[in-house]
Amino acid sequence: MSVRTATTSTAAAVLGAGALLLPAAQPQETATTLPSDRRASPVVVAHRGASGYAPENTLAAADAAKALGIEWVENDVHRTRDGVLVVLHDTDLKRTTNAEEVFPDRAPWAVEDFTAAEIAKLDAGSWFGKQYAGAGVPTLAQFVNRLERNRQKLLLEIKSPASYPGIERDILRVLRQEGWLDRSHVRDRLVIQSFGADSVKKVHALRPDITTGFLGTPPVADLPGYAAFTDQINPSHTTIDADYVAAVQRLKGPHGKRLRVNTWTVNDAANAAKVHAYGVDGIITNYPDVVRDATR
């Protein structure tokens, strides 16, 4: 899932002091509710925020998606050594922070080996561009508060749940504390997904009203079992075709609505048009403007 490929001439330009020049204003994405049962143009989801234009999983990436008129933002959640939930993709801090420089004797720099206070010292923006120097790794609370301010919606991925026993309860606790488990958020603005089927099952058992997604491409014969606990099957775009999408959508999930398919990570117009023709419900992308324009 490449983060920085040159897919469009509308790529962001630096204006100094961390400002971001995004493509000219586009009409708002017409599909506004990821969990709903609809067959119109696919919902466009900003992968780790608009991560083609700003450092992934930072508040700046959420803001970049907002600037593009994109409502849905995907993120990734880990847990620190002292139990704080942070938004970061990798299980270690090496690729997207300066952890090796700040903590040279702490290899392999696993997220779970650091406290939240230590992670807060790290720069999570400079690797992407010097205009983002000083951007931090946000906590989940900080991230959802930014989405709330932006009036955005959240597709939350639980990363490596086997490494963090009980993380499902922790996530629900933070979401509840930050006001994200009321009826309106749960109905229209929140989906929780994971590659771990057991983790998705736990979320569904704890809060059966929350829309859940399984990341992967289960065999068609196994799909009815997944429909018992998840509302979405969210596969890589390289693993699906129209027949697979139709097979998923023929089934109903635990809320009595047909299963949805949200595919990842589509970063160019040709593949966006292809999966749109397959009938997917949503497309997760680093370049949400490119996908939106290709599928309107």
- Model confidence at 18: pLDDT above 60: no
Q: Where are the domains of the chain?
A: 37-295
3-state secondary structure of 88: coil
**Res 16: pLDDT:** 35
Percent of the chain with pLDDT over 70: 87
**Res 173: pLDDT:** 98
Residue type, 36: S
User: What residue ranges in 102-208 does DSSP mark as E strands?
Assistant: 153-158, 190-194
Q: Mean pLDDT throughout 127-144?
A: 98
- Model confidence at 33: pLDDT above 70: no
DSSP string, 23-69: PPP-PPPS---TTS---SSPEEEETTTTTTTS-TTSHHHHHHHHHTT
3-state secondary structure of 81: coil
- Model confidence at 17: pLDDT above 90: no
Q: Provide the pLDDT confidence category of residue 40 given band limits of 50, 70 and 90.
A: confident
**Res 4: pLDDT:** 43
Average pLDDT across the chain, whole number: 90
Query: Is 47 part of the annotated catalytic residue set?
Result: yes
- Model confidence at 248: pLDDT above 90: yes
Give the pTM: 0.88
DSSP state of 172: H
| Residue 35: cis peptide before it, omega within 30 degrees of 0 | no
Percent of the chain with pLDDT over 90: 86
Q: How far is 65 from 153, CA to CA, in rounded Å?
A: 11
> For residues 193 and 214, is the Cβ–Cβ distance under 8 A?
yes
From 47, 78, 204, 276, the catalytic residue: 47
Angle, alpha carbons 273-226-172 (nearest 5°): 95
Q: How far is 290 from 283, CA to CA, in rounded Å?
A: 11
Q: Provide the pLDDT confidence category of residue 181 given band limits of 50, 70 and 90.
A: very high
- Model confidence at 29: pLDDT above 50: no
- Model confidence at 168: pLDDT above 70: yes
From 89, 185, 204, 237, the catalytic residue: 89
- Model confidence at 103: pLDDT above 60: yes
Just give the CATH number of 37-295: 3.20.20.190
Q: Mean pLDDT throughout 258-285?
A: 98
Q: Mean pLDDT throughout 95-108?
A: 98
**Res 244: pLDDT:** 98
Q: How far is 133 from 30, CA to CA, in rounded Å?
A: 34
pLDDT in tens, 52-88: 999 999 999 999 999 999 999 999 999 999 999 999 9
- Model confidence at 127: pLDDT above 60: yes
